Structure 1
């Protein structure tokens, strides 16, 4: 089995590249949800608003991830009304947690494996679900990502790994 070298970065807020990179990931987080929303329950099933946040934070650091995590849901709501404004606090919480966990894991382990990405996705979902439960007071609604969004979590892990390791190796 051959080992692939993947370069992981930690871009700084003072660098223009940070903002350009985040803007590209925000565009991805705008386009992918629009594609997923063309099918019934596409958003809740595939959780597309988190995909490029994961990739951006893991590959380019928590700062790119954090910019992507905050701007993506706000831009989607402003442009398309999805996610609904009432859902923004929980989605922003999960997005920010994802950016921080992914950025930390990449910096700590300096590699992108399926196991590490699965741990990142599980961590942000568990902590985010607890936060969402605290926000809305309804456990049944808070665990929706685990009930409906399991395919999306798998897509984040496998698709995120593929994008990080195969498409943007440099």
Structure 2
């Protein structure tokens, strides 16, 4: 498996670049879910709300990732009614976990690789599933991303790798 060293950033909240970067990733997280929802069950299968959160946190640090993680689902809900209010807390939990785990992994490994992104995705999904199970009290519902969201996890891993390596890297 090839590993690529990339320039990673850790932007602070007092830097205007933090908010500019977060705004671009939030915009991506507004557009991509709308495109995926054109496919039957596209949101449940492709998990698009997490895609740009992963990239934001991995490339620009957990603070940009956290802004993206919180504002993306909330704005999607307010503007488009998706995700529905009932699942918004679980999606926010997983989004925040993704931002923290991706930011940590990028800082720890200082490189991009498919195995590292796979660990990031599995970590936030596993911890998020346990948290969602605690919130809703229904394991089958909490386990849904692992039952039908495998294509979305693959999209996050492979698409995130390619996006970071070829588009953000340049």
Cα distance in 2 for residues equivalent to 1:150 and 1:2: 23
Cα deviation 1:120-144 (Å, max 9, x = unaligned) = 0000000000000000000000000
* Residue aligning to 2:157: 157
* Residue aligning to 2:14: 14
**SS state at 1:86 partner:** coil
Q: CA deviation at 1:39?
A: 1.0
Following superposition, which runs of at least 4 residues in structure 1 exceed 3 angstroms of deviation?
1-5
**SS state at 2:66 partner:** helix
Cα distance in 2 for residues equivalent to 1:142 and 1:73: 18
Cα distance in 2 for residues equivalent to 1:20 and 1:51: 18
* Residue aligning to 1:91: 91
Distance 1:113 1:2, change over 3 A: closer
TM-score, normalised by the number of residues in structure 2: 0.98
Contact 1:61 1:103 in 2 (8 A): yes
* Residue aligning to 1:117: 117
Q: CA deviation at 1:5?
A: 3.6
Alignment root-mean-square deviation, CA? 1.2
Gaps of 5+ in 2: none
**SS state at 1:85 partner:** coil
* Residue aligning to 1:136: 136
Alignment of 1:34-73 (within 5 A): 34-73=34-73
Cα deviation 1:50-83 (Å, max 9, x = unaligned) = 0000000000000000000000000000000000
Contact 2:29 2:52 in 1 (8 A): yes
Contact 1:5 1:169 in 2 (8 A): no
Contact 1:47 1:152 in 2 (8 A): yes
**SS state at 2:87 partner:** helix
Contact 1:70 1:95 in 2 (8 A): yes
Cα distance in 1 for residues equivalent to 2:161 and 2:5: 13
Gaps of 5+ in 1: none
> How many aligned residue pairs are there?
170
